[in-house]
Amino acid sequence: MKIYQLRLMAATCSLAIGLSAEALAQNSNLKKFEITSSDIYRRGDNLVVSTGIDLTDVKMEAERTMIIYPTIEDGENRKVMPEVIVNGRNKHILYQRNPNKTAYTEVRRKNGTVQSVSYKQEIAYQPWMQNAQMVLYVDICGCGGNPEENTAVSVANMGNLPLNNAADWLPTVAYIVPNAEAVKNRAESGKAFLDFPVNKTNILPDYRNNPRELQSIKETIDKVKNDANVKITHIDIHGYASPEGTYANNERLAKGRAEALKLYVLKQYDFAEDIFSVTSTPEDTEGMRNFIATSTADEKEEALQLMDNGKDADSQEALLRKLNSGKLFRTLVDSCFPALRRSEYEVAYEVKPFSVAEAKEVLKNRPQQLSLQEFYAIAQTYEPGSDEYNETFETAVRMFPDDAAANLNAASTALRKRDLKAAAKYLSRSDANAPETQNNRAVLHYLEGKIQDAKGEFEAAANRGSEAAAKNLKEITISLNNQ
């Protein structure tokens, strides 16, 4: 089999050429077609390949098929793209009964009419493609499906492939593989506003709003206890009393009511007593201060000064009772103190490690049980830039909003989506000195149009070992040199 190739050395990658394959191949049996245009350019991490094929002068017998295979190749590597099939009448009828689902398109050639095919494919860019060329392989097949004539036409040498449009180019973003979390400690927490008779510490389950409050506590505990993925490690209870009455009595109430809640929970569940930790705050003066500070009371400033006078709690209360004839204190009794009398509780637990398949299921309903490393492993199973890929990293940063690695990876996702505001926010929470952050900051500069700032950041990150930055620096340098 003899293959003829034309080597077109193109100065750029946007070509407008008119080639007669019949003339090029010098083979009278090869039906005449023309390549009218060819365009190859980078768009982000992809390579966009397009070409125009004019079939106007092609005369296709009813039993013949022309197959055009576009490829990208460099002598050692080859990427074959979906083919274009041009059929004569009878071949077209047969094709409709048994189509090739992987073909780019199938055309029935109507001899004597103007016909063309616009071919466009977007494929993942690979480093070896930098100096490759685009080649069209063309076969003419007879009724038996065997090749009768063939040729290969090289339509573009890619050389140092520049960016077709700087606005289309997305520099490579950097991700960080998070450190493993040795033990996944998590917690569910809540507040219970239990009602007690005056000066009493024993819990009456049916008293006032207690049924609702106790049910809420049980639901929190059950949520953890009934989960096969976790093990409860300890339960913390902290009781608060309001700054009303003597400090000594409030100390007794806060401690006694917190202990009463522990005893209630122990009666409901088969927990060991040593997993409980009970603490208390006799008077929640901080809560009272915040209430006063955000109020519109005329005596607000004077009240705050009284609280800062260094006197003991009982003396401060006496002064507040007298302020403005007790008007503010009555407001505190009615609107502030009930909310300060509470028990805060936390159910701490340890989560087992997950396989990737298990982690995907957990992600749907309980993402807080995943480690950052598990989020990262899930993301690697998806196509970079896909909705699932992006959502995984975005959920990870919601679960770990203060983690530098989570924010860096979320910034990468935002940059891929060209959401510059979100990217800037996440980068501000990343490790500013990490080379990955430097690279992503450079990407942000580039997308903002600050090309020289981007180049400087790419250089700094590349010098510190960032492969993404080295790749971006090479690309941006080529682009600047071609301007």
Range of the structural domain that residue 199 is part of:
184-350
The pLDDT-based confidence of 285 (bands split at 50, 70, 90) is very high
Task: Determine the residue type at 17.
Answer: I
Same domain, 224 and 322: yes
Asked, for residue 2, whether it belongs to a domain, the answer is no
pLDDT of residue 328: 95
CB atoms within 10 A of CB 371: 22
Reduced to 3 states (helix: H, G, I; strand: E, B; else coil), residue 105 is strand
Please indicate, yes or no, whether residues 384 and 309 belong to a single structural domain of this protein: no
pLDDT-derived band of residue 470, with 50, 70 and 90 as boundaries? very high
Answer whether residue 290 shows pLDDT above 60: yes
For position 119, which CATH number holds?
2.60.40
Residue 269: inside a domain: yes
Per 3-state DSSP, the chain is made up of helix, strand and coil in percentages (nearest 5) of 40, 25, 35
Residue 354 has pLDDT above 70, yes or no: yes
Question: Is residue 40 domain-resident?
Answer: yes
| pLDDT > 70: percent of the chain | 87
> What is the average pLDDT across 308-332?
92
What mean pLDDT comes out for the span 152-159? 55
- d(CA 122, CA 187) in angstroms, rounded, equals 46
Measured between its terminal Cα atoms, the distance across the chain in Å is: 44
Whether 145 has a pLDDT exceeding 80, the answer reads: no
pLDDT band at 10 (very low <50, low <70, confident <90, very high): very low
d(CA 260, CA 277): 13
458 or 149, higher pLDDT: 458
Q: Say if residue 84's pLDDT is above 90.
A: yes
What is the distance between the alpha carbons of residues 312 and 291, in angstroms, rounded to a whole number?
20
Please check whether residues 312 and 387 belong to one and the same domain. no
Task: Indicate the range of 118-132, 381-395, 419-433 predicted with least confidence.
Answer: 118-132
Same domain, 30 and 159: yes
Distance CA 64, CA 47 (A): 33
Q: How far apart are CA 181 and CA 384, in angstroms?
A: 24
Half-sphere exposure in the Cβ direction for 24 (13 Å, CA): 24
> What digits encode the pLDDT tens for the residues 189-207?
999 999 999 999 999 999 9
| Whole-angstrom distance, CA of residue 347 vs CA of residue 345 | 7
- Tell me the three state secondary structure of residue 363: helix
- Domains in the chain, number: 3
333 & 358 share domain: no
**pLDDT exceeds 50 at position 270:** yes
Orientation angle between helical segments 247-268 and 210-225, nearest 10 degrees: 50
Phi, psi of 199 (to 5 degrees): 65, 15
The 8-class DSSP code of residue 87 comes to E
Task: Note whether residue 5 is domain-resident.
Answer: no
**In which residue are the tokens 């048994």 written?**
98
Which residues, including other chains, have CB under 8 Å from residue 292's CB and lie 6 or more apart? 300, 303, 304, 307, 328, 332
Residue 475 CB neighbour total at 10 angstroms: 20
Q: What are phi and psi of 40, to 5 degrees?
A: -135, 130
| Shared domain check, 434 and 405 | yes
Q: Last residue of some domain: 316, 350, 384? A: 350
Q: Which residues have a Cβ under 8 Å from the Cβ of 69 and sit 6 or more positions away?
A: 80, 81, 83, 136, 137, 138, 139
Does the structure show a pLDDT above 60 at 159? no
Reply yes or no on whether the pLDDT at 401 is more than 70.
Answer: yes
**The pair of three-digit structure tokens given for residue 271, joined into one six-digit string:** 């927990």
Q: pLDDT band at 74, cuts 50/70/90?
A: confident
User: Distance of alpha carbon 21 from its chain centroid, rounded?
Assistant: 48
The answer as to whether 215 is a domain residue is yes
- How far is it, in rounded angstroms, from Cα 475 to Cα 462? 13
176 occurs within a structural domain: no
- 179 in a domain, yes or no? no
Exposure string over 231-242, b if 16+ CB within 10 A, otherwise e? ebeebbbbbbbb
- Per-residue confidence (pLDDT) for residue 122, from 0 to 100: 87
> Given 350, 381, 397, which residue is the final one in a domain?
350
- Report, as an integer, the average pLDDT of 420-444: 96
How much is the pLDDT for 60?
A: 87
Structure confidence at residue 48 as a pLDDT band (50, 70, 90): confident
Maximum average pLDDT range among 54-58, 99-103, 267-271? 267-271
pLDDT range class, residue 5, cuts 50, 70, 90:
very low
Of the pLDDT bands very low, low, confident and very high (cuts 50, 70, 90), residue 157 is: low
- What is the domain-level CATH number for residue 460? 1.25.40.10
DSSP string across 14-25: EE---EEHHHHH
- The residue to which tokens 């004597």 are assigned: 112
Is 219 within a domain? yes
Q: Which of 73-82, 197-206, 303-312 has the highest mean predicted lDDT (pLDDT)?
A: 197-206
Q: Which helix (H) or strand (E) holds 37?
A: strand 34-43
Confidence of residue 243 (pLDDT cuts 50, 70, 90): very high
Q: Are residues 231 and 333 in the same domain?
A: yes
Q: How many CB atoms lie within 10 A of CB 219?
A: 11
Same domain, yes or no: 327 and 375: no
Helices (H), 134-273: 210-225, 247-268
Per-chain mean pLDDT for the chain: 86
Confidence band (pLDDT; 50, 70, 90) for 153? low
Mean pLDDT of 309-332: 93
For residue 477, the Cα-to-chain-centroid distance in whole angstroms is 29
Which of 24, 310, 5 lies closest to 156, judged by CA?
A: 5
Distance in angstroms (rounded) separating the CA atoms of residues 237 and 408: 36
Which pLDDT score is estimated for 49? 84
Is the pLDDT confidence value at 395 over 90? yes
pLDDT grade for 146, boundaries at 50, 70 and 90: low
Percent of the chain with pLDDT over 90: 66
pLDDT value, residue 6: 27
Are residues 191 and 52 part of one domain? no
Q: Among 350, 368, 391, where does a domain finish?
A: 350
Tokens of 450: 């600050």
Give CA angle at 386 (381, 388), nearest 5°.
60
Q: Count of alpha carbons within 13 Å of 91, Cβ hemisphere only?
A: 24
CA-closest candidate to residue 280, choices 332, 236, 311: 236
Q: Supply the CATH number for residue 240's domain.
A: 3.30.1330.60
> Average of pLDDT values for 265-285?
97
Sequence-separated (6 or more) residues with CB below 8 Å from residue 271: 232, 235, 265
Q: Determine the pLDDT at residue 433.
A: 94
| 124 confidence band (pLDDT: 50, 70, 90) | confident
